[in-house]
């Protein structure tokens, strides 16, 4: 044992023992501070990760809303095309019915004319 490590007559530790204890205390304090810094850095990193996750989730929600809007627009366009198709079919049926009616009228007029021509 080195002379500075021995306690003196009063039982107090020697100079080197005191310095060693102070160094150990400083080291422990630096470790705590480092650990605190690390904890703070970890917490900041977790918070940044959480912000990124929330931003990603919001972006995904926006994409889903946009997709649903596109689907609605597509469905709306499809319904409009179907409605126009039905309107066209109805118009074609009405035109065909009008042509048949016109043909019947012409036939009736022709028969009527023939009936008059047959009379002496």
DSSP for residue 52: H
Could you tell me if residue 119 is inside a domain? no
Could you tell me if residue 111 is inside a domain? no
Could you tell me if residue 103 is inside a domain? no
Sign of CA dihedral 53, 55, 59, 61: positive
Whole-angstrom Cα Rg for the chain: 50
pLDDT of residue 1: 44
Query: Per the structure, how many domains does the chain have?
Result: 1
pLDDT in tens, 49-59: 999 999 999 99
Could you tell me if residue 16 is inside a domain? yes
Could you tell me if residue 67 is inside a domain? yes
Could you tell me if residue 71 is inside a domain? yes
d(CA 41, CA 52): 16
> Structural domain of residue 57, as residue ranges?
12-91
Which stretch of 15-24, 29-38, 103-112 has the lowest confidence by average pLDDT?
A: 29-38
pLDDT in tens, 69-91: 999 898 898 999 999 999 999 99
pLDDT in tens, 60-73: 999 999 999 999 89
pLDDT of residue 2: 45
């Amino acid at each position: 044992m080195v002379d500075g490590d021995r306690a003196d007559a009063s039982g107090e530790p020697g100079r080197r023992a005191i310095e060693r204890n102070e160094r150990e205390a400083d080291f422990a304090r630096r470790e705590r501070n480092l650990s605190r810094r690390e904890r703070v850095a970890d917490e900041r990193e977790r918070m940044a990760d959480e912000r990124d996750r929330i931003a990603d989730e919001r972006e995904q929600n926006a994409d889903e809303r946009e997709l649903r809007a596109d689907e609605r627009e597509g469905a709306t366009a499809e319904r409009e095309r179907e409605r126009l198709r039905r309107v066209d079919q109805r118009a074609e049926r009405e035109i065909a019915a009008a042509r048949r009616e016109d043909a019947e009228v012409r036939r009736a007029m022709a028969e009527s004319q023939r009936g008059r021509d047959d009379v002496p």
